[in-house]
Amino acid sequence: MAEYIESLARLAEQFARLEGVGKKSAMRMAFSVLELEKEEVADFAHALTDAKEKIHLCPVCQNLTDKELCPICADPGRDRSTVCVVTDPRALLAMEKVREFSGVYHVLHGVISPMNGITPEKLKIKELLARVGEGEIKEVIVATDPTVEGEATALYLSKLLKPLGVKVTRLAYGVPVGADLEYADEVTLFRALEGRREV
């Protein structure tokens, strides 16, 4: 039946393009749109184009913003000598929730992944090098994910950054707070043991 209604199938296809949305969910969402009022659907369509039009990358840190600079780069209270490098804007959000980091960020928009055709040139790496080249930055904290690709990207960055005379650090590995040791994987436990600290 759904395949008979072309415009419904096309709408479902659009939802299915979004990250983490499968075919079944996409179809459910398309049906759900039809239950909205006509004006509500028009608002939805407007919100889509509006967000895409207004939001661009902050020219300093490459974070998303609808202003000239992102709110963090525009904040005079942030410490510009420490830069935390994150994979994407969502990782930045997660770091900001900690409320402990007072430095600034740099968003790579991905990790190096030759298998998926993501070479270093496709990431915001030259923008990072340009920032470090300006001389104000003293430490770069590489907070890419603790995955194979995240690690490789961190290694790649540290090789480029160290010759520029900045301190390059990485987030600590270890057992997550509140987790059950029984369920921690061996690599994590090994890293936690390796990084043990005196109490």
Q: Which two tokens stand for residue 22?
A: 């499968």
Q: Which is nearer to its own copies, 97 or 197 (by Cβ)? A: 97
Binding site residues, its own copies, CB under 8 A:
1-2, 4-8, 10-11, 13-14, 17-21, 25, 28-36, 38, 40-55, 63-66, 70-72, 88-90, 92-93, 96
The least distance separating its own copies from the CB of residue 75, rounded to whole angstroms, comes to 11
Smallest distance, its own copies to C-beta of residue 26, A: 10
Whose Cβ is closer to its own copies: residue 21's or residue 184's?
21
Q: For residue 167, what are its two tokens?
A: 């301190």
Residue 19 C-beta: closest distance to its own copies, Å: 4
Question: Considering only CA atoms, which of 67, 152, 71, 165 is closest in space to residue 108?
Answer: 152
Chain CA centroid to CA 154, Å: 14
Helices (H), the chain: 6-16, 23-34, 38-54, 71-74, 89-97, 125-133, 148-161, 186-194
Closest approach, Cβ 12 to its own copies, in A, equals 9
Our CB check for its own copies shows the closer of 94 and 189 to be: 94
Distances (CA, A) of 181 to 1, 17, 196: 51, 38, 15
CB-CB contact of 108 with 124 (8 Å): yes
Closer to its own copies by Cβ: residue 54 or 162: 54
Q: Which is nearer to its own copies, 19 or 134 (CB)?
A: 19
Nearer Cβ to its own copies (113/188): 113
Report, in Å, the least distance between residue 80 CB and its own copies.
18
Residue 95 Cβ vs its own copies, minimum distance, rounded to whole Å: 9
For residues 132 and 104, the answer to whether their CB atoms sit within 8 Å is: no
Q: Is 139 helix (H, G, I), strand (E, B) or coil?
A: strand
